[in-house]
Each structure stands twice: as structure tokens, then as C-alpha cells.
Amino acid sequence: MLIRTKKRNPESEITDPALFKKRRQIIKASAAAMVASLNLPVIPSAQAASRVKIAKFTRGSPYSLQQSPTDYEDITRYNNFYEFGTGKEDPAHNAQSFKTRPWTIRIEGEVEKPAVVGIEDLISGQALEERVYRLRCVEAWSMVIPWIGFPLASLLRRARPTSRARYVQFTTLYDPEQMPGQRIPTLQWPYVEGLRIDEAMHPLTILALGLYGELLPNQNGAPLRLVIPWKYGFKSIKSIVKIRLTEQMPPTSWNLAAPNEYGFYANVNPDVSHPRWSQKRERVIGGGLFNPKRETELFNGYTDEVGKMYRDMDLRRFF
């Protein structure tokens, strides 16, 4: 049984991505090919947006789980990213030609300093961390992923939220030419998600630029995605192009599609079942077909860190 411990890893204990790369020469070669396809300059600075360079400007994080990460191949081949198909293997197949440069993120709404930020500016201008988090999906499966990113709060503070900012809305790129899944009305496109402002400013909430010491693969949400470790995976919106601070609760894609199945909060909760399946247990991807399930933990095990934000809420009603 895989148990999540409360102890956080000091920097010296963070898994070194290089150890995994040494065992995977094929993955290393494909990574180099992907970098070349981005047409990015390789220069000896934090602005070098290459899968080789990003790890050199990354430090460990006290928020990391003390668990071994899921295998790289599983993380990058088993994905939910409906913009590239509804099958778990579709994104890895259909996103290979997706262009993530140039890329900008617009910050607007209830802020004093709206801005348009380039992805290279984020890579060079933020203190990046490796954070080992579990990503749990509503289909009762999970992965433990060594994300590379920075707190969302650090970006929002630069925009200076006004006193009316109560929520944060995120929007994915809309480009059916590159994203074949958007040609089908599976959801209302573009994909949108939202957080309450206190959730967005929580130090566990990060914007991820990479994983395993490398830039995000396209199928994992390149070039920038949200990661909220105490919520179900569909909240972690991918390929973000806009962040808007609002006074009213924003609509979210899955809540619009099936409001009786997907709530705004989407906190991991074993006591609130999905209408079509139980959420009490989860299977960790990567252990084979007979990998035993583990008990799902409230807030994915982060009750001590985030539980106080929901202390007075009915978690069955506000799911």
C-alpha cells in the first residue's frame, strides 16, 4: 500500500531527475528532439527554455511528498487532455506538433496592473522549485509527479489584485487547427477553470512549467499548467493563455457540462462519490494491472495544510 506521509523532504532528499534519465537513453534522445522542434536558443542562462536547462535553475521544496515519483513514461503517456482526444493515450499521440512558442499569458480583470507575460519571462523571472505532488483524477487513479514550477501567488501579487477580487478564472488556448479535440463539442471550448482567491494564493497551488527536471511535454499541458494537489485533476487546467481575477464565481468547463457530477470546488473527498462510481479508493498508475488500490484521503492528504479554508462549508453540498 502506498502511504502518504506528512513529513516533507528537505532539498537534499528530492529525487534527482538525472538518475531517471540515465536509465532511459531513448527518452533522453526524444527529449532533445522535442527541444529542437521548439526552435529555442540554448544559452547559459535561466532564459534558456530547454528541457536540459530548466533543472539547473530549480531547487527542492519543503512541500514535496516523501514518495517515489511515478515512472516518466507513465506520466507522459497516460493523460487527460481532451483538446487532443478523449483517450488516455491520445494526447501523447496528437500533441507532438503542438507549438508552444511564442506564448504569452494575459493577466486581467480585478487587478491594478494588468499585464501580458511571456513564457520565457516566467522561466527566467521566477524561483522554480521541484515539488513532488500526487495528481488524483476522478476516475479513481493517481500519479506522483515531480513538478517544476512556482507559486501562483507570486504571479498574482505582481498584478496587484483589487479588493473586489474574490475568484481567479483560467482559460486554455483555443486553436482547433492544433488541438483536434476542440473540433468536437465534447465540452464548451475553450476550457475554463476557476479557484477562490484564497485557494489561488495558497502556497501549495503552483503554475507548473515542467516535470522531471525538464520542460512540460505537450501532452502534459505545455507550456504552463495549474497544479492544485488537494483537488481532482480536472481542476489543473493546461496550456493557459489567460488569468482573470473576478468578483463573481466563474463558470468552469466540467461544471457547465455536467453540474450534478462536477462541482466548482472539486476537493478530493472519499465521502462524496461521483454519481457513477465511488471515490473511496484509487489506483496508483505504474504498478501493473494488479497494482492494489489505496484508500483515498480527504483533500488528497493535505487536510492539515488546506482544511481550514473549508472549515465552515458543507463539503457534500459544495463538492
- Summarised one tens digit per residue, pLDDT across range 43-93 is 222 223 334 457 666 888 999 998 899 999 999 999 999 999 999 999 999
Q: In this predicted model, what pLDDT tens digit does every residue of 211-222 receive, in sequence order?
A: 999 999 999 999
Per-residue pLDDT of 149-200, as tens digits, reads 999 999 999 999 999 999 999 999 999 999 999 999 999 999 999 999 999 9
- Average pLDDT of the chain to the nearest whole number: 85
Domains and CATH numbers, the chain: 11-308 (3.90.420.10)
pLDDT digits 0-9 by tens, 267-299: 999 999 999 999 999 988 986 667 788 999 999
| Least-confidence region, from 36-40, 146-150, 228-232, 252-256 | 36-40
Q: Which residue has the higher pLDDT, 77 or 127?
A: 77
Q: Is the CB of residue 225 less than 8 Å from the CB of residue 133?
A: no
pLDDT at residue 206 in the model: 98
- pLDDT (average), residues 15-40: 40
